[in-house]
C-alpha cells in the first residue's frame, strides 16, 4: 500500500486512536464485520451512513471531485470514521473504502447518538473529534460543493453566508481572479452572467439557487420526517429557539426546529459577544450558534434549515405549520422564537445595494470585503458599537453615524469608552444617510447633518446598518395577540380582552411565555417586553420547556 499519498490529508491529531477499553465498549453496541479490500463502506452523499472502528487492515477516506479523489486519511487499527454528519444525519461528505482486507466494528447512527448521550467519557471524546474534523474540513474547503461568484454580487454573499452559517464546507472561486472559475463555467457551458453558480457532487450546476433549493440539493434537511407529529415545534433557530431545542430534546421531547436561514439568528451575525456569561474573552456569534446547534443535535433535536414558516393553524391540534412550498409539519406544542429583523435605511434605492455594499451583519465574511477601505457603521446601539470596534481592526477608517446627539443613551459604557479612544473611528452625531450611488455595487454615500442640513458625499463602498429591529410576526396573520409594536404578548401581559378575543378556554390562566393560544409559546426578542440580549433569549428558551411539559401532560 502506498501511504505517501495520504500526507496532504487532515492532520494526525484529528485521528486519535481509541484504546482497547473504548473499543470494547463500542463492540458491545456494534457488530463485527470482515470487509474485503476495495469495498466502499459509504460514499459521498450517503444518508444515514454507519460508523466504523478499524480492528485490523486499513481503509481510506477521500473526497471525490471532478479532478479525482482528494485524500483525507488512512484509517488503521484503532482509528474510527465520522464527523458531524454522524449526529445531524446529513449526507456524508466523504467516501470511505477499504484498501486491505479489513476487520471493523460497525455501528448505526442511532447507536452512535445513544452512546454520545449515555457514555460521558466516550461521548465527549467522539463529539470533540467530530467537531474538530468538521472545522478542519471547513477551513481547508474540503466539501462537496464549489461556488463560483463575485464579490460584487449580493447573491454570492447570500450563498456564502448560507453555506458558512450552516457549517457546510465549500470551495469558493472568484470570477476574474481564479482561473479555474472561468474553466469550470466553460466546461458547463455557462456565462459569467450566470454567477453565482454552484456545482455539487452530482456535477450538475445550479444557477443562483434560493437557500431552500441549495438546502434540498445538499440534503441539509435529509432527516426531517414530515409525517411525524412532534411533541414540540420551535419556529426560529436563534439563541432562544436553540436553547428550547436543547432543553426539550434533552428532556425526552421529540423536537423539530424550523429555521428560515441558518441556526444562530441575530447573534450569528455578531463578530463578538462579550457579555454572555462564561465567555470572559467574548465569543463570536457563529461560534456560539455552532456549539448550540451541535448540542441540540446531540440530544436528538431535528433542525430544518431554509424552512421559512409562513402560516400556523392555531385552531387545530396538533398545530399544523406551513413552510414555503413544503407540506405542513405538526406539533402538539409550539414555541415561536422568530426574533426580529433589522430595520432598513430610509433611502430610495437601498434594495440595489443590499449585499453589494450594504450589510446587516459584521462577521469576518463581510469584513474581508472591505479590508483597507473606509466603511460606515450606522446605529448607536451595542451591535453598532461592536461592529465599529471589530471593523476598525480591518478597515482603513470607520465612520459611525448616529441620528441622535450621542451614544450615552443607547450603548454600554465600556463600548462608548473604546470607541472614543479608537483613532480609527470617527463618530458623526445628528447625521443620517440620504443617498447611495453606484453602478452594480455601492460606490459613494451621501450623508446629511440633521441640524445644519449640510450634505457630504464620500467614495465609500461599504455600509454596515445596525439600527435596531422589528419583530418577525407578519406571518402569524392575526393568530396571536400582539402589542402595539407587533411583538407577541404572553403570560400576565395578556389582558382579559386579548383572552376573550382569542376564545381562551376557561379553567386556567396562560402560563409564563404562553400566548393567547393555549399550547403556543413565544420567547426571546419576538416576545413583548423581552430584554433583547443573548442571555435572556437563552434563559427564556430554557425555562419555557418546563411549561411545555405542563401543557403536554394536561
Ligand X SMILES: Cc1cc2nc3c(=O)[nH]c(=O)nc-3n(C[C@H](O)[C@H](O)[C@H](O)COP(=O)(O)OP(=O)(O)OC[C@H]3O[C@@H](n4cnc5c(N)ncnc54)[C@H](O)[C@@H]3O)c2cc1C
377 lies in the binding site for ligand X (CB under 6 A): no
243 and 292 in contact (C-beta within 8 Å)?
A: yes
344 lies in the binding site for ligand X (CB under 6 A): no
* Long-range pairs, 6-13, Cβ under 8 A, ≥24: 6/60, 6/71, 6/72, 6/73, 6/74, 8/70, 8/71, 9/61, 9/71, 9/72, 9/73, 9/74, 10/72, 10/73, 10/133, 10/136, 10/137, 10/140, 10/142, 11/136
354 lies in the binding site for ligand X (CB under 6 A): no
337 lies in the binding site for ligand X (CB under 6 A): yes
259 lies in the binding site for ligand X (CB under 6 A): yes
221 lies in the binding site for ligand X (CB under 6 A): no
Which of 267, 334, 442, 520: binder of ligand X (CB under 6 A)?
267
d(CA 419, CA 16): 45
Nearer to ligand X, 447 or 513 (CB): 513
304 lies in the binding site for ligand X (CB under 6 A): no
361 and 383 in contact (C-beta within 8 Å)?
A: no
Which of 59, 115, 184, 235: binder of ligand X (CB under 6 A)?
235
266 lies in the binding site for ligand X (CB under 6 A): yes
Nearer to ligand X, 166 or 383 (CB): 383
Q: Rounded to the nearest whole angstrom, what is the least distance from the CB of residue 310 to ligand X in the complex?
A: 7
Q: 439-458: which residues touch ligand X (CB under 6 A)?
A: none
Nearer to ligand X, 196 or 238 (CB): 238
335 lies in the binding site for ligand X (CB under 6 A): no
533 lies in the binding site for ligand X (CB under 6 A): yes
Nearer to ligand X, 200 or 238 (CB): 238
DSSP, residue by residue, 433-447? EEEEE-SSS--EEEE
Nearer to ligand X, 308 or 461 (CB): 308
Closest among 284, 233, 292, 283 to 262, alpha carbons compared: 292
Q: Which stretch binds ligand X (CB under 6 A): 200-208, 413-421, 488-496, 530-538?
A: 530-538
Nearer to ligand X, 148 or 312 (CB): 312
Calculate ∠ Cα 131-329-237, nearest 5°.
40
473 lies in the binding site for ligand X (CB under 6 A): no
Q: Rounded to the nearest whole angstrom, what is the least distance from the CB of residue 444 to ligand X in the complex?
A: 25
386 and 269 in contact (C-beta within 8 Å)?
A: no
Q: Rounded to the nearest whole angstrom, what is the least distance from the CB of residue 343 to ligand X in the complex?
A: 11
Question: Rounded to the nearest 10 degrees, what angle do helices 534-553 and 239-250 cross at?
Answer: 40
Closest among 307, 457, 424, 373 to 151, alpha carbons compared: 373
Alpha-carbon Rg of the chain, whole angstroms? Answer: 25
Q: Give the single-character DSSP code of 78.
A: T
Nearer to ligand X, 343 or 448 (CB): 343
Q: Give the single-character DSSP code of 527.
A: B
d(CA 535, CA 542): 11
d(CA 216, CA 343): 30
Which of 102, 153, 295, 386: binder of ligand X (CB under 6 A)?
386
265 lies in the binding site for ligand X (CB under 6 A): yes
385 lies in the binding site for ligand X (CB under 6 A): no
Question: 330 has which bridge partners?
Answer: 229, 320
What stretches of 136-224 adopt beta strand conformation (E)?
A: 146-149, 171-174, 197-199, 205-207
334 lies in the binding site for ligand X (CB under 6 A): no
Nearer to ligand X, 73 or 308 (CB): 308
Pairing of strands 197-199, 205-207: antiparallel
Beta carbons within 8 Å of 51's beta carbon, 6+ residues apart: 30, 80, 81, 82, 86, 106, 107, 108, 109, 111, 112
> What do you get for the CA distance between the two ends of the chain, in Å?
64
Which of 475, 487, 504, 513: binder of ligand X (CB under 6 A)?
475
Nearer to ligand X, 170 or 475 (CB): 475
Q: Rounded to the nearest whole angstrom, what is the least distance from the CB of residue 425 to ligand X in the complex?
A: 16
200 lies in the binding site for ligand X (CB under 6 A): no
Q: Rounded to the nearest whole angstrom, what is the least distance from the CB of residue 431 to ligand X in the complex?
A: 20
Nearer to ligand X, 205 or 238 (CB): 238
Which of 88, 109, 270, 516: binder of ligand X (CB under 6 A)?
270
DSSP, residue by residue, 215-243? HHHHTTTTT--TTSEEEEEEE--SHHHHH
Closest among 295, 260, 220 to 541, alpha carbons compared: 295
What b/e sequence results for 27-62 when a residue is b if at least 16 CB atoms lie within 10 Å of its CB, and e otherwise?
Answer: eebbeeeebeeeeebbebbbebbbbbbbbebbbbbb
Size of the site for ligand X (CB under 6 A): 39
Which of 46, 465, 472, 528: binder of ligand X (CB under 6 A)?
472
233 lies in the binding site for ligand X (CB under 6 A): no
Count the Cβ atoms, other than its own, within 10 Å of residue 198. 23
Q: 496-525: which residues touch ligand X (CB under 6 A)?
A: 524-525
Q: Rounded to the nearest whole angstrom, what is the least distance from the CB of residue 306 to ligand X in the complex?
A: 9
Nearer to ligand X, 450 or 533 (CB): 533
Q: 116-155: which residues touch ligand X (CB under 6 A)?
A: none
Binding interface with ligand X (CB under 6 A):
235-241, 258-261, 265-267, 269-270, 273-275, 308-309, 337-340, 361, 382-383, 386, 466, 472, 475, 524-525, 532-535, 537
Amino acid at each position: 500500500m502506498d501511504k505517501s499519498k495520504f500526507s496532504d490529508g487532515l492532520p494526525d491529531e484529528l485521528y486519535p486512536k481509541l484504546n482497547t477499553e473504548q473499543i470494547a465498549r463500542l463492540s458491545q453496541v456494534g457488530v463485527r464485520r470482515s470487509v474485503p479490500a476495495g469495498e466502499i463502506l459509504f460514499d459521498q452523499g450517503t444518508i444515514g451512513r454507519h460508523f466504523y472502528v478499524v480492528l485490523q487492515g486499513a481503509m481510506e477516506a477521500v473526497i471525490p471531485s471532478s479532478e479525482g479523489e482528494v485524500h483525507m486519511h488512512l484509517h488503521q487499527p484503532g482509528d474510527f470514521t465520522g464527523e458531524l454528519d454522524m449526529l445531524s444525519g446529513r449526507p456524508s461528505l466523504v467516501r470511505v473504502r477499504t484498501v486491505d482486507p479489513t476487520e471493523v466494528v460497525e455501528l448505526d447512527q442511532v447507536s452512535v447518538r445513544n452512546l454520545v448521550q449515555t457514555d460521558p467519557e466516550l461521548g465527549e471524546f467522539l463529539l470533540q473529534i467530530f467537531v474538530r474534523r468538521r472545522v478542519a474540513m471547513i477551513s481547508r474547503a474540503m466539501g462537496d460543493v464549489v461556488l463560483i461568484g463575485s464579490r460584487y454580487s449580493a447573491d454570492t454573499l447570500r450563498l456564502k453566508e448560507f453555506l458558512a452559517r450552516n457549517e457546510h464546507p465549500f470551495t469558493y472561486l472568484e470570477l476574474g481572479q481564479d482561473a479555474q472559475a472561468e474553466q469550470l463555467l466553460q466546461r458547463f457551458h455557462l456565462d459569467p452572467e450566470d454567477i453565482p453558480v454552484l456545482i455539487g457532487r452530482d456535477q450538475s450546476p445550479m444557477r443562483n439557487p434560493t437557500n431552500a433549493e441549495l438546502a434540498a440539493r445538499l440534503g441539509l434537511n435529509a432527516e426531517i420526517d414530515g409525517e411525524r407529529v412532534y411533541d414540540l415545534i420551535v419556529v426560529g433557530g436563534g439563541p432562544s429557539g436553540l436553547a428550547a431545542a436543547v432543553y426539550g430534546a434533552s428532556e425526552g421531547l421529540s423536537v423539530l426546529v424550523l429555521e428560515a436561514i441558518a441556526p444562530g439568528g441575530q447573534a450569528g451575525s455578531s463578530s463578538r459577544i462579550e457579555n454572555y456569561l462564561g465567555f470572559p474573552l467574548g465569543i463570536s456569534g457563529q461560534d456560539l450558534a455552532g456549539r448550540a446547534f451541535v448540542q441540540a443535535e446531540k440530544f436528538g433535536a431535528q433542525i430544518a434549515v431554509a424552512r421559512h414558516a409562513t402560516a400556523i393553524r392555531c385552531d387545530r391540534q396538533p398545530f399544523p405549520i406551513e413552510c414555503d412550498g413544503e407540506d405542513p409539519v405538526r406539533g402538539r406544542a409550539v414555541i415561536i422564537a422568530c426574533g426580529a429583523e433589522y430595520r432598513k435605511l430610509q433611502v430610495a434605492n437601498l434594495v440595489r445595494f443590499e449585499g453589494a455594499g450594504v450589510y446587516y451583519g459584521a462577521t469576518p465574511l463581510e469584513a474581508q470585503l472591505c479590508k483597507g477601505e473606509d466603511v460606515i457603521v450606522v446605529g448607536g446601539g451595542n451591535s453598532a458599537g461592536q461592529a465599529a470596534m471589530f471593523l476598525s481592526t480591518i478597515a482603513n477608517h470607520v465612520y459611525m453615524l448616529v441620528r441622535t446627539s450621542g451614544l450615552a443613551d443607547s450603548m454600554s459604557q465600556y463600548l462608548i469608552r473604546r470607541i472614543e479612544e479608537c483613532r480609527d473611528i470617527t463618530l458623526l452625531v445628528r447625521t443620517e444617510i440620504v443617498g447611495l450611488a453606484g453602478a452594480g455595487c455601492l460606490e459613494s454615500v451621501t450623508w446629511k447633518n440633521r441640524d445644519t442640513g449640510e450634505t457630504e458625499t464620500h467614495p465609500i463602498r461599504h455600509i454596515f446598518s445596525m439600527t435596531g429591529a422589528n419583530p418577525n410576526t407578519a406571518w402569524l396573520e392575526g393568530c396571536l395577540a400582539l402589542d402595539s409594536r407587533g411583538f407577541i404578548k404572553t403570560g400576565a401581559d395578556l389582558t382579559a380582552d386579548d383572552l376573550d378575543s382569542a376564545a381562551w378556554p376557561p379553567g386556567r390562566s396562560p402560563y409564563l411565555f404562553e400566548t393567547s393560544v393555549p399550547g403556543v409559546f413565544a420567547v426571546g426578542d419576538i416576545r413583548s417586553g423581552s430584554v433583547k440580549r443573548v442571555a435572556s433569549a437563552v434563559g427564556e428558551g430554557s425555562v419555557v420547556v418546563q411549561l411545555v411539559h405542563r401543557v403536554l401532560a394536561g
